[in-house]
């Protein structure tokens, strides 16, 4: 059995909000950059309801000029167990 860290979705969402604001972008502007019809996906990321897909994480990292690791927050207290 392997113990792996899990992603803290709420803290990751707070990171996205902080980085979006630091970049001087509104949710609406980010929506247009991604070509989304509505801002719902971005709000879900920010609230920690869902995580951006890998390709959207790569895009966020480029937009915010950070690494993906800077966006994602690991929950070191909670561990997911993986059975091989």
Instruction: Tell me the per-residue pLDDT of 22-66, one tens digit each, with 9 for 90 and over.
Output: 999 999 999 999 999 999 999 999 999 999 999 999 999 999 999
Q: Who wins on pLDDT, 48 or 76?
A: 48
Dihedral sign computed on CA atoms, order 27, 70, 61, 48: negative
Quickly name the fold that domain 2-82 has.
Answer: 434 Repressor (Amino-terminal Domain) (1.10.260)
The rounded distance, in Å, linking the Cα atoms of 6 and 17 is 20
User: Structure pTM?
Assistant: 0.85
Residue 5's pLDDT band, with cuts at 50, 70 and 90, is confident
Instruction: Give the domain ranges of the chain.
Output: 2-82
């Amino acid at each position: 059995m392997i113990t792996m860290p899990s992603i803290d979705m709420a803290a990751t969402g707070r990171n996205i909000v902080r980085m979006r604001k630091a970049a001087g972008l509104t949710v609406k502007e980010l929506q247009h950059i991604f070509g989304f019809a509505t801002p719902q996906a971005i709000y879900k990321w920010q609230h920690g309801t869902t995580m951006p897909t890998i390709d959207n994480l790569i895009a966020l990292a480029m937009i915010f000029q950070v690494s993906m690791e800077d966006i994602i927050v690991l929950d070191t207290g909670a561990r997911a167990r993986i059975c091989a």
